[in-house]
Amino acid sequence: MQKRNILSNVIYSSIYQIMAVLIPLVTAPYLSRVLGAEQTGVYSYIYATANYFVVFAILGISNYGSRKISQLREDPQESTYAFLSIYLFHAITTTIMLVAYYLYFLFFLSDSYSGPGMAASLFVWSSLFDISWFFAGKERFKMTALVSTFSKFLCAVAIFLFVKTPEDVSIYTLIMALSHVFTYLIPWLFLKGELDFGKFDIKRIKIKQHILPSLIFFVPVIAITVYRYIGKIILGNISSMTETGLFENADRVTQIVLGIIGGIGYVMQQRMSNLYANKNENDANKLLNLSFILTGFISCALSFGLSGIAGTLAPVYFGDEFKSCDILISLLSLEIIYVSFANVVRTNYLIPKEKDKEYVVSVIVGAVVNILVNFILIPFIGALGAVIAVMAADLVVFIMQSYAVRNEIKLKEYVIIYGSFMIIGGIMWICTRIIGLVMGTSVFSLVIQICIGAAVYILFSFIYLKIFQKDVFNMVKKLMPKR
């Protein structure tokens, strides 16, 4: 079997994850001014609600399915029948959720939201065609990344062409939903070459054996979804759509950053699952070390960098109506560091090692914390309460998952690595803050902050890695594609 390049896969997976939130980020300045805070909040509320139906349709198939295909990919026929069995189960659950969504639309959704609500049903339809988990298990990230990029590009063009007034929120929802449908449909054209049924045997299709594992993975999925979206729904119901819109835009900014981290983790999860399944502990440990260093470098840069420019970014990027987003962005950026650390623990060790109990319990506790904090704080401080709830939940998950592997991986060493990058990030943060105070709020000031901040961080990181992490350069060199 062709050896797959990890670095290339990291890049392609990062593109795939980033594109999921990049277009909303790119179009945010335009949409913020065209739709305004209230209609931005309406979209956020409708999408968050529809996404719960999507989550119940997919269950835990994204993580479980990709892990299963990774473990079986050396056997083409076994992986083919596993794919068919898992997908048929997925098709059944999606059909049930489609019926449930239309019942919700007819009997529970306010008439004032009927337009975007009907358009949002396509989000649920799109999940029926989602087989990205299969290609991830095969480590075929290039095709899905390119399709996603093209789809999001078309989405951006459509937004600028057809969304012109606050009343166009239904059109905006439709465009976003159709983008999902297109992204998930195209990979089916490439599926045939990946399947090998041999002499077709219907008895090898075993849906039942995949139900329980999918449900086990569903628990953390729904828990994570709760503290990704429940804050927006609570804001929309007991606070205001304006507060929901403020939180939505602050969340968009941090999600692009977490998309980069998620892309790295998702690639590593597939490779680590395969290595552990084949008892290759030595290579797995090397990749674990590389993953911590790489995510530490990236997450600290983006966390301190985003916090440093937040005061300039919010009014310049989103407009004066969203100026108060700066404190929300600054706070959310702090969690990038410990979320990225937990991501490495989860995707590089807990899931590949099939330590599902530790993973599931930690996320459930995080979701409970999130719900409690949301209900306590949102009535008093609105969007700020939703931000604190997300940060508290992710902190709990980080602590619990790290504690679960305290005797199995070198946590102290990795904490020191992260600490080193945090010090460098602190230096960068001071530089960007000073520039912002001196130059004021403008596009030019924002560009200067980003350029000088990046230069400072890269310079000090290079010195640190050259002196204390010399083996990293050799490891990265080996992973680079050979020409």
Total-model pTM? 0.71
Q: Is the pLDDT of residue 52 over 50?
A: yes
**pLDDT grade, residue 273 (50/70/90)?**
confident
Residue 408 pLDDT: 86
Mean pLDDT confidence for 446-456: 92
Question: Could you state, in order of their start, the residue ranges of all structural domains in the chain?
Answer: 6-192+205-479
Residue 1 pLDDT: 38
Residue 20 pLDDT: 65
Q: Is the pLDDT of residue 479 over 60?
A: no
Q: pLDDT tens digit string along 354-388?
A: 788 888 899 889 989 988 998 899 888 888 888 89
Residue 25 pLDDT: 65
Q: Considering only residues 252 and 426, tell me which one the structure prediction assigns the higher pLDDT.
A: 426
Q: Is the pLDDT of residue 197 over 80?
A: no
Residue 239 pLDDT: 66
Q: pLDDT tens digit string along 130-179?
A: 998 888 888 787 787 888 888 888 888 999 999 888 888 889 999 989 98
Q: Is the pLDDT of residue 463 over 60?
A: yes
Q: Is the pLDDT of residue 3 over 50?
A: no
CA distances to 41, 232, 233 from 238, rounded to whole Å, are 13, 10, 9
Residue 225 pLDDT: 72
Would you say 261 and 340 are in contact if contact means Cβ atoms under 8 Å apart?
Answer: yes
Mean pLDDT confidence for 287-300: 86
Mean pLDDT confidence for 228-257: 73
Averaged pLDDT of the chain? 82
Residue 2 pLDDT: 40
Phi and psi at 151, nearest 5°, equal -60, -45
Residue percentage of the chain with pLDDT more than 70:
88
Residue 295 pLDDT: 87
Pairwise CA distance, residues 204 & 207, whole Å: 9
Mean pLDDT confidence for 443-453: 91
Neighbour-count burial of 415, counting CB atoms closer than 10 A to its CB (0-12 exposed, 13-18 middle, 19+ buried): middle
Q: Is the pLDDT of residue 242 over 80?
A: no
Pairwise CA distance, residues 270 & 138, whole Å: 8
Would you say 394 and 346 are in contact if contact means Cβ atoms under 8 Å apart?
Answer: no
Tokens matching residue 304:
């301190």
